[in-house]
Amino acid sequence: MTPMRCAILMTLALLAGCKGKDSPAPGVQGDPERGKMVLTQYACHACHVIPGIAGSEVYVGRPLDGLARRKYIAGQLPATQANLVRWIRDPQSVDPETAMPAMGVTERDALDISAYLLSQ
């Protein structure tokens, strides 16, 4: 086998094992594509910079990139999908002094939003 062919095969093998950026981690429930749409319906981008969502660069709330790599949500909840859904639906139950308003997000919408955010 030529060195060039060997290099191509190794590259293809490495790429085959890569998880796409827009793929949620194993075990994440919900529909990330629907979650992306729902994020805009709740106007989350009015306060947050969100990957893949067009909007102005606002920094009222923390940017929502890299949630899958964070250890905590709101500085106090272990970063699980269930806790992210809880935070999205009722942030004051976690931190009564948070500036994040309760937006009336449904359980399904919060699940899909969390699936999208955890895939970024």
Report yes or no: 46 and 40 within 8 Å, Cβ to Cβ.
no
The model's pTM? 0.79
Of 27, 19, 30, nearest in space to 114 by CA: 30
pLDDT in tens, 36-85: 999 999 999 999 999 999 887 888 999 999 999 999 999 999 999 999 99
Q: Which domains does the chain have, with CATH numbers?
A: 32-117 (2.60.40.420)
Element containing residue 84 per DSSP (H, E) = helix 81-89
pLDDT in tens, 2-44: 554 534 444 444 443 444 445 666 789 999 999 999 999 999 9
